[in-house]
A and B are shown apart, each in its own frame.
Chain A
């Protein structure tokens, strides 16, 4: 396999990348993109794919298409060996999950669905405080692509899960796409209840039975349900979306939901380097957040937070003031509202002026912040596939609900998605990520160079070597390392905050101090590692406790080492003029925009 073409059919654009083996190494060589054509007038996803291919053809000089057929295998400068694709077009995979107890099986079901790359529209549980008719109404009106029903440990309660099946049956729900199709329902609950479930749902739905996701209270088994979800996604949902039947015949591997593919890559990074990773993929319609802490993998999706289709919802959820606080110039509120709506109704447009770029990046900060908040609140002691836990841990999860996303233990923060990957300056991406995620202590930050994590995720299922080589050489761009104060650490601007000594790779020492409320960048190239000794003032903490020094290795990147004393949360001036001045100062410190 020497030449690979991969696409990601996003809700807004279809992105194609070409991977070629040169001198024995796989490299990503060209890319092309075109608007996704799931919508009228074309209503055929393959049009956008062909357009993206055409752009790759034009730029690379490689002939990929013979009319509308992909030429395989590759010979010289003609054809490709394999085509793979991911997709989130058509609104992605929209699911509803149901479980007996909200914090136990229903939560497990939610994790199973999210991990498979779905958007969870609602979680129905026996104890969710809604009245039966409200649940039934909700199931009837939501029109998901499929339902995952779980409940009861094996040999445990039958009543609750049968009750949920009765609600589903009474609602007689229909799928989002295809009027005459029966809605797929996956049953992954108490195996003792299977026969009853069949009696109730077999006639009215397309019922699929898989292993219990919670066979015992201490054990979660999400893998079989996730596999079934992805299988049904291809068979039912994709097959109904315009043009996908044709697209499925073109690909050399099953089409994966975009978030599922990105999740695969995130887990690979964490596993290979034995580190804790948080990743984000901010798209046009949705924002996905992934976290890998040790063995625990979590993914959440903020279904209506994105930079084009959902941009207006960022305003609705975050509030106008929260967006305005990041805009580094005076701006009329009404003007901002209109600009956001105009982006919403013409989602494929891009900022042409610097002012417009700054506005979009202000909105992105809020979309990222709110998505991350949502992730932290759902990633509470969540357990990945087949992980054992004892009963006390299970109770602790229910009672405490503490997030497992500890920013101080985070090693690497990876950003992906148009607004981060395509930011004209890498320093803009770095600043957006820091402002939104508020890393604490010492954190390395990277971005996906040109948004190819989904492509590499799906590619890894057929050619792991190619996926890994391209990932290391062309995909991940290290921006540098952020050194910052920890949570709940604020002070007064100008107050003595930290002093540090950085020993550069050539042995040169930089000895400086930085007062509270500032940002400073020290250039350090990609692949270079320096050592930092930070001594915080007695009221400040950079990870070891108030006033206690921290010694660490810091990696370079296209931006460098960013020393951030702006506080956690960042202290922004209350009056508009001072705030604008602050934002400009910080942007200047990191060289975010042209003068």
Chain B
């Protein structure tokens, strides 16, 4: 059997989800191992270094760099306030005196006797990292952050924009192939994460933003609408830091595509639950897909599925989804895995598989154009 590896998106009804909550710089972790936290709780804090300002002091004062330190009234490490005199010349006639004012409130970092520059730094900016999911701290990374764990329904989307947000899950459509229209967005959806069906358009996203919806999960949208939402043509899929006032996750792809039935049913079954979502996508090596995490209450107990990815090759009978035209979005089962590469319509000779669709129709598809799905 060919050792073909086909990545698929994860969809788990109930699984252990771990989430690394890491500071961008070293700082303080404010929780301890075993703490049970809410998504909104702070787990770690640090200070981002302030912005640096450089002043060409010698030009302003009309002196030589090597002499600069003699003229400085403040030394490296001193705190200064905006418009405070930090250096001055000492002429015989006082009127001829030139002064150097601090452009900011902060500290003097470096005084350079080579270039004659003075570097000042603004005060550090505090930043906090939140737990993001309701769960338990299972590991502490000293000065860096924590690892949270929760038992949750876990679904990966294919693409998203906007960062982390938390809210109650609400289903707005009846079927996975429904289109999410503006009239389905109600004032009651304020601060919620809403689930649509196959498609959403830009004006509907606008309506959701007006209402105060925190996040949208939908099958597909048009690239043109994405451009309208972002205000520019997205070149490289590295997202998550957009400030667009909402987080949007698409589960299937671009265009009008029915949300996978299993995804839709799973979301529907968790309607009303507190949900954490993150649109951050990075389609590069070290891929990051957008995620939907719906933790279970500690009390409810059913069996957990394994959190391990399917680490084996494709086998006959495995359910798959086709991820490129002409059968884009269709689900079927592997009927055969021909050993020899086959010629396809483009005349390329590639490794293919034969897929059987639920209606009995079969087709040959390149192996790279399918993803394995969990039953």
A→B interface (CB under 8 Å): 11, 34-43, 47-48, 50-51, 54-55, 58, 89-91, 132-133, 136-137, 158-159, 162-163, 166-167, 169-172, 174, 179, 196, 242, 285, 304, 309-310, 312-313, 315-317, 334-335, 337-342, 344-354, 356-357, 422, 424-425, 594
| A309→B283 contact, CB < 8 A | yes
| B369→A349 contact, CB < 8 A | yes
Enumerate chain B residues within 8 angstroms of A348, measured Cβ to Cβ: 368
Nearest residue (CB) in A for B289 is A40
Name 17 A/B residue pairs within 8 A (Cβ), A-sorted. A34-B4, A35-B7, A41-B7, A55-B3, A132-B52, A166-B115, A171-B52, A174-B25, A312-B237, A337-B254, A338-B222, A338-B255, A341-B159, A341-B226, A354-B345, A356-B325, A424-B348
| B114→A425 contact, CB < 8 A | no
Enumerate chain B residues within 8 angstroms of A346, measured Cβ to Cβ: 158, 253, 323-324
Q: Which of B76-84, B211-219, B228-236 contacts A (4 or more CB under 8 A)?
A: B228-236
| A357→B284 contact, CB < 8 A | no
* B109 at the binding interface (Cβ < 8 Å): yes
Q: Known interface pairs A37-B5, A285-B284, A424-B347. Does A309 touch B325 (Cβ–Cβ under 8 Å)?
A: no
Q: DSSP majority for the A interface? A: helix
Enumerate chain B residues within 8 angstroms of A34, measured Cβ to Cβ: 3-5
| B115→A159 contact, CB < 8 A | yes
| B286→A38 contact, CB < 8 A | yes
Bound Cα distance from A174 to B23, whole angstroms: 13
Enumerate chain A residues within 8 angstroms of B281, measured Cβ to Cβ: 345
Of B3, B114, B144, which contacts A162 at CB under 8 A?
A: B114
* B317 at the binding interface (Cβ < 8 Å): no
Bound Cα distance from A185 to B2, whole angstroms: 45
Closest Cβ–Cβ distance, residue A424 to chain B (whole Å): 4
Closest Cβ–Cβ distance, residue B211 to chain A (whole Å): 27
Of B2, B65, B366, which contacts A350 at CB under 8 A?
A: B366
Task: List residues of B (95-147) whose CB comes within 8 Å of A's CBs.
Answer: 109-110, 112, 114-115, 117, 119, 121, 144
* B187 at the binding interface (Cβ < 8 Å): no
Task: List residues of B (183-231) whose CB comes within 8 Å of A's CBs.
Answer: 222-224, 226
* B285 at the binding interface (Cβ < 8 Å): yes
Bound Cα distance from A54 to B4, whole angstroms: 9
Nearest residue (CB) in A for B220 is A338
Nearest residue (CB) in A for B363 is A352
Closest Cβ–Cβ distance, residue B236 to chain A (whole Å): 5
Nearest residue (CB) in B for A358 is B346
Closest Cβ–Cβ distance, residue B242 to chain A (whole Å): 15
Bound Cα distance from A550 to B289, whole angstroms: 57
| B119→A166 contact, CB < 8 A | yes
* B93 at the binding interface (Cβ < 8 Å): no
* B358 at the binding interface (Cβ < 8 Å): no
Bound Cα distance from A132 to B115, whole angstroms: 13
Q: Known interface pairs A352-B346, A424-B348. Does A170 touch B234 (Cβ–Cβ under 8 Å)?
A: no
Bound Cα distance from A163 to B255, whole angstroms: 51
Enumerate chain A residues within 8 angstroms of B350, measured Cβ to Cβ: 350
| B222→A316 contact, CB < 8 A | no
| A242→B286 contact, CB < 8 A | yes
Task: List residues of B (329-364) whose CB comes within 8 Å of A's CBs.
Answer: 344-348, 350
Q: Known interface pairs A55-B2, A159-B114, A159-B115. Does A309 touch B236 (Cβ–Cβ under 8 Å)?
A: yes
Enumerate chain B residues within 8 angstroms of A304, measured Cβ to Cβ: 235-236
Q: Kindly list 4 other residue pairs between chains A and B, CB separation below 8 angstroms, not including A337-B224, A357-B346.
A: A39-B284, A58-B2, A345-B281, A356-B324
Interface residues on B, range: 35 or more
| B346→A309 contact, CB < 8 A | no
| B285→A36 contact, CB < 8 A | yes
Most chain B C-beta atoms within 10 Å of own C-beta, residue among A36, A50, A349: A349
Enumerate chain A residues within 8 angstroms of B288, measured Cβ to Cβ: 40
Of B3, B253, B345, B369, which contacts A51 at CB under 8 A?
A: B3
Most chain A C-beta atoms within 10 Å of own C-beta, residue among B115, B222, B328: B115
Bound Cα distance from A425 to B348, whole angstroms: 8
Most chain B C-beta atoms within 10 Å of own C-beta, residue among A40, A346, A347: A346
Enumerate chain B residues within 8 angstroms of A312, measured Cβ to Cβ: 233-237
Nearest residue (CB) in A for B235 is A313
Enumerate chain A residues within 8 angstroms of B223, measured Cβ to Cβ: 334, 337-338, 340-341
Of A36, A315, A345, A357, which contacts B283 at CB under 8 A?
A: A345
* B272 at the binding interface (Cβ < 8 Å): no
Bound Cα distance from A171 to B115, whole angstroms: 17
B→A interface (CB under 8 Å): 2-7, 22, 25-26, 49, 51-54, 65, 109-110, 112, 114-115, 117, 119, 121, 144, 158-159, 222-224, 226, 233-237, 253-255, 281, 283-288, 309, 323-326, 328, 344-348, 350, 365-366, 368-369
Nearest residue (CB) in A for B2 is A58
Q: Known interface pairs A136-B54, A170-B54, A346-B158. Does A90 touch B222 (Cβ–Cβ under 8 Å)?
A: no
| B222→A337 contact, CB < 8 A | yes
| A354→B112 contact, CB < 8 A | no
Bound Cα distance from A171 to B121, whole angstroms: 10
Most chain A C-beta atoms within 10 Å of own C-beta, residue among B109, B285, B325, B347: B285
| A309→B324 contact, CB < 8 A | no
Closest Cβ–Cβ distance, residue A183 to chain B (whole Å): 14
Most chain A C-beta atoms within 10 Å of own C-beta, residue among B6, B53, B65, B325: B325
Bound Cα distance from A169 to B109, whole angstroms: 10
Enumerate chain A residues within 8 angstroms of B4, measured Cβ to Cβ: 34, 51
Nearest residue (CB) in B for A593 is B347
Bound Cα distance from A171 to B54, whole angstroms: 11
Most chain B C-beta atoms within 10 Å of own C-beta, residue among A167, A172, A335, A424: A424
Enumerate chain A residues within 8 angstroms of B325, measured Cβ to Cβ: 339, 352-353, 356
Bound Cα distance from A350 to B322, whole angstroms: 12
Closest Cβ–Cβ distance, residue B155 to chain A (whole Å): 15
| B324→A47 contact, CB < 8 A | no
| A352→B114 contact, CB < 8 A | no
Bound Cα distance from A56 to B309, whole angstroms: 25
| A310→B3 contact, CB < 8 A | no
Closest Cβ–Cβ distance, residue B172 to chain A (whole Å): 23
Enumerate chain B residues within 8 angstroms of A313, measured Cβ to Cβ: 235-236
| A347→B144 contact, CB < 8 A | no
Bound Cα distance from A446 to B252, whole angstroms: 39
Q: Known interface pairs A159-B115, A166-B110, A169-B110. Does A342 touch B324 (Cβ–Cβ under 8 Å)?
A: yes
Enumerate chain B residues within 8 angstroms of A179, measured Cβ to Cβ: 22, 26, 144
Nearest residue (CB) in B for A306 is B236
| A54→B3 contact, CB < 8 A | yes
Of A55, A167, A196, A347, which contacts B54 at CB under 8 A?
A: A167
Bound Cα distance from A58 to B337, whole angstroms: 14
Q: Known interface pairs A342-B253, A348-B368, A353-B325. Does A422 touch B348 (Cβ–Cβ under 8 Å)?
A: yes
Of B51, B236, B346, which contacts A310 at CB under 8 A?
A: B236
| A170→B119 contact, CB < 8 A | yes
Bound Cα distance from A179 to B145, whole angstroms: 12
| B236→A342 contact, CB < 8 A | no
Bound Cα distance from A349 to B158, whole angstroms: 14
Bound Cα distance from A166 to B7, whole angstroms: 46
Bound Cα distance from A345 to B144, whole angstroms: 31
Nearest residue (CB) in B for A346 is B323
Bound Cα distance from A41 to B325, whole angstroms: 26
Bound Cα distance from A39 to B348, whole angstroms: 27
Enumerate chain A residues within 8 angstroms of B49, measured Cβ to Cβ: 172
| B324→A352 contact, CB < 8 A | yes
| B326→A162 contact, CB < 8 A | no
Nearest residue (CB) in B for A241 is B285
| A90→B285 contact, CB < 8 A | yes
Nearest residue (CB) in B for A356 is B325
Enumerate chain A residues within 8 angstroms of B119, measured Cβ to Cβ: 166, 170
Bound Cα distance from A567 to B225, whole angstroms: 38
| B3→A338 contact, CB < 8 A | no
Bound Cα distance from A149 to B75, whole angstroms: 28
| A352→B54 contact, CB < 8 A | no
Closest Cβ–Cβ distance, residue B146 to chain A (whole Å): 14
| A89→B285 contact, CB < 8 A | yes
| A136→B286 contact, CB < 8 A | no
Most chain A C-beta atoms within 10 Å of own C-beta, residue among B5, B22, B224: B5
